[in-house]
Amino acid sequence: MKKILFVSFFSPPMGSGGSQRILKILNNLKGFEKYLLTANYPSIRYKDEFLKVSDDVKIFRVYYKDPRLFFPKALLKLIKRKKKEGGGIDVVEEFKVLKGGLLSKLKLSFFIPDEKVTWVKDASLEGKRIIKENEIDTVITTGPPHSVHLIGLKLKTLGIKWVMDLRDLWSDNPFVLYPGKVREKNRRIEENCIREADLILTVTKSFKERLLRTYKFLSEERVKVVYGGYDENDFNVSPKKLKGFTISYAGSFYSIQTPVYFLKAVREVIDEDEEIKRNIKVYILGPFEENTERIASSLGLKNYVVVTGFMPHREAISYILGSSVLFLYLARGGFETVPQKTFEYMRAKKRILALVPDGECKEILETCGFKDNVDPEDVTKIKKKIKELFSLWKRGEEFKPDIDCVKKYSMDNLVDVFINSLKEGEVI
């Protein structure tokens, strides 16, 4: 029986989108000896006790030294370096970055490719031990965090087959605002990893096309696409009983991913339509975010928008199943992205208000019969679409997507795609 070692920073009980994909593949993958090398996280902010790794996976955890514990020291180093270079630095602004949770500038400048790089050394040593003691054939590293791929680079020296799983773009990620020359540094590290990996997996065809354009040495055969998909087992829950016309968004907002255009449209709809005003409620099913609440408050929507805070995945699915409409947002720069929630939304068989640019996500939605798609920044068209969806809800019109199309993205099917990709890439 072939032996595969998965290396993932995220894993249960850590409740994060990053733990979902690897968990689903691990739990549904049959016919292999499965090993998981993951982080022993000292302070898990969001725990999801419903997420479990199947009993046939051998788990190894390596302690993660969280660099946030030494950020004050890092800030002092940054100040000293800037002074030495003769440049200036706004300490107040840097403190706001630190205090406000928008840590990207400091993290991305000091910890390349990301702050999880402090885990690489110890995890690599443990990975080598696991490989030698268990005669592992194949290693699969999944990121972000992309520093995990540095572990794969080190383990590759043992002569194993290495699969590099890219759930997001790395140096070309439009949602990561790299300061100064940090993007170019990441590009060099990324190229080194891609040159050494035996096979690269991506989650969209668009990601694959970008990689092939960027790295001319890559052959099409070395890059395979395995979408995120949905797990049918997650939908064995009762729909949440919600009153009125409810629009729900699962996840969080960050960087250029903002709810502002949608919430402006909601404000205008409420001002123009008394009936919608009496019935509408928006649920943001994700970690509490001061910025989202601030936007809602500034628009006078505190009575219409509920930010639930983090909830277990199982509970989020319950809300999704109980909602009238599901809200999907992708900033214009994210035209190559297909969020994981897209597939779970489709499986829920609910109408999807998709504020997405032209691109792969929109194509998948429309192919499967989800055609309520609007430019993500066109408030007037968003408002019009909300009114249309309310009318459909009010009349009780049944929505019938293309179920056969949706089923293509079930985890059962995608695990087959995953295995075939490994076979075609000659890594198993």
Most distant CA atoms of the chain, gap in Å: 68
pLDDT at 407 (0 to 100):
98
Q: Is pLDDT above 90 for 91?
A: no
Q: Examine the pLDDT at 13 and tell me if it is beyond 50.
A: yes
pLDDT band, residue 111 (cuts 50/70/90): confident
**367 touches 404 (CB < 8 A):** no
pTM over 0.85: yes
Q: State residue 267's pLDDT score.
A: 98
Q: How confident is the model at residue 87 (pLDDT cuts 50, 70, 90)?
A: very low
Cis geometry, peptide bond prior to residue 312 (ω within 30 degrees of 0)? no
* Least confident interval from 94-108, 141-155, 376-390, 392-406: 94-108
Strand partners, 60: 37
**Hey, what domains does the chain have and what are their CATH numbers?**
3-65+115-229+411-424 (3.40.50.2000), 232-407 (3.40.50.2000)
| pLDDT for residue 75 | 56
Q: What is the pLDDT of residue 78?
A: 56
Q: Buried b / exposed e across 308-329, counting CB within 10 Å, b at 16+?
A: bebbbbebbbbbbbbbbbbbbb
Mean pLDDT on 251-258:
82
Q: How far is CA 244 from CA 77, 240, 322, 323, 423, in A?
A: 54, 12, 11, 9, 50
How does the average pLDDT of the chain come out, rounded? 90
| Integer Cα distance of 38 and 9 in angstroms | 5
In what side-by-side order are the strands of the sheet with 305-307? 305-307, 280-285, 245-250, 325-329, 351-355, 373-374
103 pLDDT band, cuts 50/70/90, is low
Amino acid type, 72: P
Measured in degrees and rounded to the nearest 5, phi and psi for residue 310 equal -60, 140
pLDDT over threshold 70, residue 100? no
pLDDT at 145 over 80: yes
Q: CA 158 to CA 342: how far, in whole Å?
A: 38
The mean pLDDT of 327-336, rounded to a whole number, is: 92
Radius of gyration of the chain (CA): 22
Query: What are residue 243's phi and psi, to 5 degrees?
Result: -95, 145
Listed residue (134, 140, 131) closest to 6, CA to CA:
140
Instruction: Average the pLDDT over 302-315 and give the result.
Output: 93
pLDDT at 254: 76
Summarize pLDDT for 367-385 with one digit per residue, the tens.
999 999 999 999 999 999 9
Contact 274, 311 (CB under 8 A): no
Question: What pLDDT score was predicted for residue 49?
Answer: 78
Contact 16, 152 (CB under 8 A): no
Q: What is the pLDDT of residues 161-215, one digit of tens each?
A: 999 999 999 999 988 888 879 999 999 999 999 999 999 999 999 999 999 999 9
88 pLDDT higher than 80: no
Task: Check if the beta carbon of residue 350 is closer than 8 Å to that of residue 336.
Answer: no
CA–CA gap between residue 8 and residue 143 (Å, rounded): 7
Structure tokens at 298: 């500034």
Sequence-ordered list of residues with C-beta below 8 angstroms from that of 85, at least 6 positions apart, any chain: none
Cα(168)–Cα(14) distance, rounded to whole angstroms? Answer: 19
Distances (CA, A) of 63 to 37, 40, 41, 66: 11, 4, 6, 9
Query: SS3 for 145?
Result: coil
Statement: residue 160 has pLDDT above 80: yes
- For residue 279, what pLDDT is reported? 98
If we measure between CA atoms, which residue out of 57, 43, 48, 42 comes closest to residue 18?
Answer: 48
What is the reported pLDDT for 48? 82
Task: Report whether pLDDT(92) > 50.
Answer: no
pLDDT at 262 over 60: yes
Confirm if 81 and 138 have CB atoms less than 8 A apart.
Answer: no
